[in-house]
Amino acid sequence: MRDPQGRKAMSSFFEFIRRQWFLVALVLAVSVGLLASRPLITYAEAGWLRTLLVMVVMFIMSLPMKLQQFVQAVRRPQAAGLAILMNYLAMPVIAWPLSWIYTAETGDGILVAAVTPCTLASAAVWTRRAGGDDATALLVTVATNAACFAAAPFWLWLMLDQGVATIDGWEMAARLALLVLVPLGLAQGLRVLRPIASWGTQHKKQLGIFAQIGILMMVTLGAAKLGPQLQGSLSSKIGEWILMTMGVLGLHLVVLMLGWAFSGGLGLARGQRIAVAIAGSQKTLMVGLLLAIDLGVSILPMVTFHLGQLFVDTLIADRWARQGASVEK
């Protein structure tokens, strides 16, 4: 006799995997990179491969974006401007003293996470999920990614211990411009051609999956490079990892709540407040991983920050969506 409870549990399990496949795959990517660090280290140290991955992912994620979506948000720039300040001013300022309680490698990894731009992958999606103004979130993602070639080198030059990494601001700025502005510009330039624009819009979901596969490849390479540093020191680092997880999740939540509070103080509409809170506190994994690997600092704060923001913001977005639905009734 078949067990209906067992079938229900199995069905729920597969449904969870289907909905959260990227989070499961992200954990697996980190595990594979750490466990297979020796055979993968050659690829992990290939700078051209990391650069290619970032450019391809940025292009894929930018292709479905409609330029017209930004017009409405540009006409009301207060929300986007506040979110940019949260992302590029509040986050680094709060992260700087926070990093002092950790080892240099972990603390510098937290600083790298704090100075990366808003994620192209999830900010608008989570804002829409919460019932917010996704056009504002899209404007924030583009603005912060376009400005990261200047903002990230400045903050890293200011905050990082020069004994850990000597930062050439101009070189980093030029590289980030290549990695971010060129793919963004190329994607939007191609959208001038109607068939490409239509194809990109229609295949947004599929392109997003390919972009996430690129992110998983980048995570695997980053974990492989980190693997040799962790050999023989796993037990001694567990406590620090727990403390680091609490730190990056707290950093994200503090900035999210500050964005919500300040936007309310400015009298912004509820949808814009949601966009400020989410887009102002989320960070992109791709650029953060690239910077962490290049600077030789731990990738775990960036990976943990990204995983944490997806889990936490899902809960918050669903709560805001329910509150919005009850208000409409």
Phi-psi region of 167 (alpha: psi -120 to 50; beta: other; left: phi over 0): beta
- 169 contacts: CB under 8 Å, gap ≥ 6: 153, 154, 157
Mean pLDDT of 79-88: 95
Q: Which two tokens stand for residue 12?
A: 């729920």
Task: Say if 141 falls within a structural domain.
Answer: yes
Nearest CA to 59 out of 174, 247, 234, 214 is that of: 214
Q: Does any domain span residue 10?
A: no
Q: Identify which has the larger pLDDT, 96 or 131.
A: 96
Q: Which of 158, 180, 179, 176 is nearest to 167 (CA)?
A: 158
Share of residues in the chain with pLDDT > 90 (%): 23
**In this structure, which amino acid lies at residue 312?**
V
Max mean pLDDT range (54-58, 76-80, 212-216, 228-232):
76-80
> What pLDDT, on the 0 to 100 scale, is given for residue 262?
96
Average pLDDT of 131-148? 83
Query: Per the domain annotation, does 19 fall within a domain?
Result: no
Mean pLDDT of the chain: 81
User: Residue 137 in contact with residue 322, Cβ under 8 Å?
Assistant: no
Query: What is the reported pLDDT for 73?
Result: 66
How many folded domains does the chain comprise? Answer: 1
Q: Is residue 232 part of a domain?
A: no
Least confident range from 63-67, 261-265, 300-304: namely 63-67
> How wide is the angle at C-alpha 132 spanned by C-alphas 131 and 137, nearest 5°?
140
- Whether residue 235 has pLDDT greater than 60: no
- As a whole number of angstroms, the distance between CA 168 and CA 110 comes to 20
Q: What is the mean pLDDT of residues 234-240?
A: 66
Q: How confident is the model at residue 264 (pLDDT cuts 50, 70, 90)?
A: very high
Kindly state whether residue 15 falls inside one of the protein's structural domains: no
Q: Region 49-62: what's the mean pLDDT?
A: 81
Q: Which residue has the higher pLDDT, 134 or 79?
A: 79
- Domain range holding 262? 24-227+240-323
Give residue-wise pLDDT tens across range 146-164. Answer: 788 788 888 988 888 654 4
Residue 169 belongs to some domain of the structure: yes
Please check whether residue 96 lies inside any domain of the structure. Answer: yes
Residue in 314, 307, 304, 312 with CA at minimum distance from that of residue 112: 304
Distances (CA, A) of 3 to 8, 15, 16: 9, 18, 20
CATH code where residue 108 lies: 1.20.1530.20
Answer yes or no: is pLDDT of 124 > 60. Answer: yes
Q: Where are the alpha helices (DSSP H) in 100-203?
A: 104-115, 123-129, 134-159, 169-176, 182-190, 194-202
Residue 106: the pLDDT is 87
The pLDDT-based confidence of 1 (bands split at 50, 70, 90) is: very low
Predicted local distance difference test score (pLDDT) of residue 164: 45
Q: CA–CA separation, 46 vs 241, rounded Å?
A: 27
Q: With contact defined as beta carbons under 8 Å apart, do 176 and 153 qualify? A: yes
Instruction: Report yes or no on 8 lying in a domain.
Output: no
Identify the sign of the CA torsion 32, 34, 37, 43. positive
> Alpha-carbon distance 39 to 114, whole Å?
31
Main-chain phi, psi angles of 261, to 5 degrees: -70, -50
